Amino acid sequence: MRLQMKEKVKKVYQSDLFPMFLFLALMLCIEMFMTKEGDDIFFSSACNNKGLINYLLERYHTWTSRIVIEAILVTFSNFLPMVIWKIANLGMYALLIYSMQKLFVSQNKKMGNAIICIFVLLLPFSIFHEAGWIATFNNYLWVVALGMYSFIGIQNMMKDKKTPIWQAITFILAIIYAANQEQMAGILFLIYTPMILYMLKIKKVKPLLFIMYAIIIVNLVFILTCPGNTARTIEEASRYYQNFEEVSLITKLEQGLTSMMYYVMERWRILFVVLLVLIAYAMVKQNNDIRLKILGIAPIAIYAFYHEYISLIIGFRKMQVLETMKIYTIFKIVVYAMILITITICLYQIFKKEKNRLKRFMPAYLFCVGVISRYIMAFSPTIYASEERTCLFWYISVSIINLLVIQKMFTKEQIEERKEE
């Protein structure tokens, strides 16, 4: 009996999924302390005096285009015990980790899963209860997990793998949910559009891809024409940003950049610091050209200088005065732009020797898509009120890039190639 037990434990430990099991066990412990709060309270009583269909119609006309998301959200909040949602939430975490591993881990899957779990743990956990646990997870993490899962369909097509009907249905359902969120709809459009063009070029397009792309387009049109989104913008502008309509385009673009970079620059988000360290390491290791080495070190050097020394050089009191001056805002914009631009250039340099053109450009493109996903908040009156949860899509893109750089620099093949050079 003991031997059998030991063998079972050994099999679990040796499994590629062992890191995910540990991660889910940790999340299960954390979820035990989650209760309904914030917007969860509203959704818990949303259908007390009306049916779900009537509630969704009302929301469509007065508040939001997230009809699919809110249907699921209200079902879990209003009609089911929270323990059911907690189980489903663990499932979405598992789906996110599985999808990232399936899409981006080429070898040593157990180690790849461990790295992914670490990066998911490094996501700022406080963001997931900014609007209530259920509301925030369903509108953000679930959206990311299902959107990421839908990309497996493209991967299957590229590898000429046959997609069973049941799996095709799951891809379609996943993208219906994911594309119902504005930021994710934009991300899906930015990723699926070049992918469908690439697939047309290599003549591997299947009907499923057109169906999924059509769902994205329909959702984008639905979002842009929804009367509730217009009504919500007006109400939120009066509540959070009264002169929003009077703000110039240049100011909005400036606020989009500064509000986005505030979190990673002022709050020391570890995921971003890891990205800067990995880029510096990769650029120094891969290149003999001193200019490229300096380029690789530049992002983390600028980051460290800004974060640690600028206030010491200027002085804390003078810093407080400068915060109100236009010249300091310009200085921050220049610093932030330099970091983002150099990161993008470095990512291309790191992967430019990849034989596959898609792999060559993908990391830099994913980084840009992540940045855009948060930058579009510049055109919303809740640019500040929505807080850090709107950065989640950007943080996920950073996590993916970190994983890709680690695999690029530390796989056995890459180490042997550098030795030969």
pTM attached to this predicted model: 0.91
Specify the amino acid at residue 190: L
User: How would you write 328-371 as a 3-class SS string?
Assistant: HHHHHHHHHHHHHHHHHHHHHHHHCCCCCHHHHHHHHHHHHHHH
Residues 6 or more apart whose Cβ sits within 8 Å of residue 177: 68, 69, 72, 142, 143, 146
CB atoms within 10 A of CB 71: 16
Q: How far is CA 88 from CA 73, 134, 138, 174, 351, in A?
A: 12, 11, 10, 14, 37
Q: How far is CA 245 from CA 181, 234, 242, 379, in A?
A: 23, 9, 8, 10
Element holding 24 (H helix, E strand):
helix 18-31
Sign of torsion, CA 315 318 322 327? Answer: negative
Q: Whole-angstrom Cα distance, residue 51 to residue 323?
A: 51
404 burial level (CB within 10 Å; 0-12, 13-18, 19+) = buried
pLDDT tens per residue across all 421 residues of the chain: 565 666 666 676 677 778 899 999 999 999 999 999 989 999 998 888 888 999 999 999 999 999 999 999 999 998 899 999 999 999 999 999 999 999 999 888 889 899 999 999 999 998 998 889 999 999 999 999 999 999 999 888 888 888 899 999 999 999 999 999 999 999 999 999 998 888 888 777 788 999 999 999 999 999 999 999 999 988 888 888 888 888 888 888 888 888 888 888 877 889 999 999 999 999 999 988 899 999 999 999 988 887 766 655 554 444 445 555 677 778 888 889 999 999 999 999 999 888 877 888 999 999 999 999 998 888 888 888 888 899 999 999 999 999 999 999 887 445 555 455 4
Could you give phi then psi for residue 331, rounded to 5 degrees?
A: -60, -45
Angle value at C-alpha 96, between 346 and 395, nearest 5 degrees: 35
On the CB side of 178, how many CA atoms lie within 13 Å of its CA? 29
Sign of torsion, CA 407 157 203 188? Answer: negative
Q: Nearest Cα to 171, choosing from 206, 222, 223?
A: 206
| Span between the terminal Cα atoms of the chain, in Å | 54
